[in-house]
Amino acid sequence: MPKHQPVVQPAKKMSRSISLATKLIFAALSALQERGGSLSSREVVEEVGRRVKLDEWASQRYEKTGYLRWQSMLHFFSIDCIKAGYLVKTKGVWYVTPEGTDALKLGEDGLLRSARERYRAWKDGVQQLTPEDQANEALELEPEPDFGEQQLSADEALGMAVEGIKFFLDRKNPYEFQDIVAALLRGMGYFTPVVAPPGKDGGIDIVVYRDPLGTLSPRMRIQVKHRGSSSTVQEIRELIGTLQKDGDVGIFVSSGGFTPDAKQAARHARVHVELIDMDRFIALWKEFYPKLSDEDKSLLPLVPVYFVAPPS
């Protein structure tokens, strides 16, 4: 009599949404790991869009919100990763944690499964399963959330707002961006008697005084670079070379950021040199926006949006 063969239970079939979500989340955390651990929300979306094959269903746009299905799913399932301790989001920037990097070893299915199990454990207040246990459990079949109805969290909305401002500024030419920088300085209470016209500027784009006649120190000399590449140590040194008078302060505004050597040169300069990248510029613009004149506000107009504060 033949021996009975063991009965192999078929694996539970993942829903269409969960199947896609496993790929989206794995691609997002992989991109973060490969790009140094952090990316802006916009960069994460761009990276995932390049890495995951998206069909017509995934690329459907929701009528009510205007969001693409896969992008809504990415944000929705990223909450599991946040609660699991794999991901941190702050001010529109995503950061993968060391735990998230380790979870990538579980593969596409295992990563999301682990995150969802940890999220459930966090909600229920029960002991979390080991990664080995989580990897052996089948993904549960759950009713598909209505991703088109998902509301943005305050942090997600803030990230989208910052990206919108960057998108607006990216499309300004260097002289328009220079005018916006001058407007910010006026909003901060300074006087800008010199804003260089197009052409050679001798290394200085804006001269800033604390009073109308420039009799009070410090007097500031501003260099503005509006481009995709980072400003270099040589450019920082050229700004330092223009600071000849006692009390002069150099400010370098670079929408493309700064190289590590440039930052080091500014820190160790014999004079005060302040570096302002795009993120810092936007933060300052938002902070001093109420103090700008109506004319200056029109250069980069903002509108406030209010959210209910989460419980502390």
Residue 237 has pLDDT above 50, yes or no: yes
Residue 148 has pLDDT above 60, yes or no: no
Q: Residue 153 — very low, low, confident or very high, per pLDDT cuts 50/70/90?
A: low
Q: Is this model's pTM higher than 0.75 or not? A: no
Domain ends where: 146, 166, 186? Answer: 166
Tell me if residue 259 falls in helix, strand or coil. Answer: coil
Across the chain, what does the average pLDDT equal?
83
- Regarding whether 162 and 215 lie in a shared domain, the answer is no
The confidence score (pLDDT) of residue 1 equals 46
What would the pLDDT profile of 176-224 be if each residue is shown by its tens digit? 999 999 999 999 999 999 898 876 656 688 999 999 988 888 899 999 9
Domain ends where: 121, 140, 166? Answer: 166
- Regarding whether 146 and 33 lie in a shared domain, the answer is yes
- Domain assignment of residue 200, yes or no: yes
The confidence score (pLDDT) of residue 264 equals 95
Domain count, the chain: 2
Contacts 24+ apart (CB under 8 A), 299-306: 299/176, 299/179, 299/180, 299/183, 300/165, 300/168, 300/169, 300/180, 300/183, 302/165, 305/157, 305/161
- Which of the given ranges, 3-7, 37-41, 255-259, has the highest pLDDT on average? 255-259
Q: Residue 139 — very low, low, confident or very high, per pLDDT cuts 50/70/90?
A: very low
- Regarding whether 24 and 136 lie in a shared domain, the answer is yes
Q: Find the mean pLDDT for residues 235-243.
A: 93
- Regarding whether 194 and 162 lie in a shared domain, the answer is no
- Domain assignment of residue 306, yes or no: no
Boundaries of domain holding 238? 172-297
Strands 93-96 and 38-40: antiparallel
Domain ends where: 166, 199, 227? Answer: 166
The confidence score (pLDDT) of residue 7 equals 45
Is the CA virtual torsion 230, 234, 240, 242 positive or negative?
negative
The confidence score (pLDDT) of residue 196 equals 86
Q: Residue 79 — very low, low, confident or very high, per pLDDT cuts 50/70/90?
A: confident
CATH number at residue 181: 3.40.1350.10
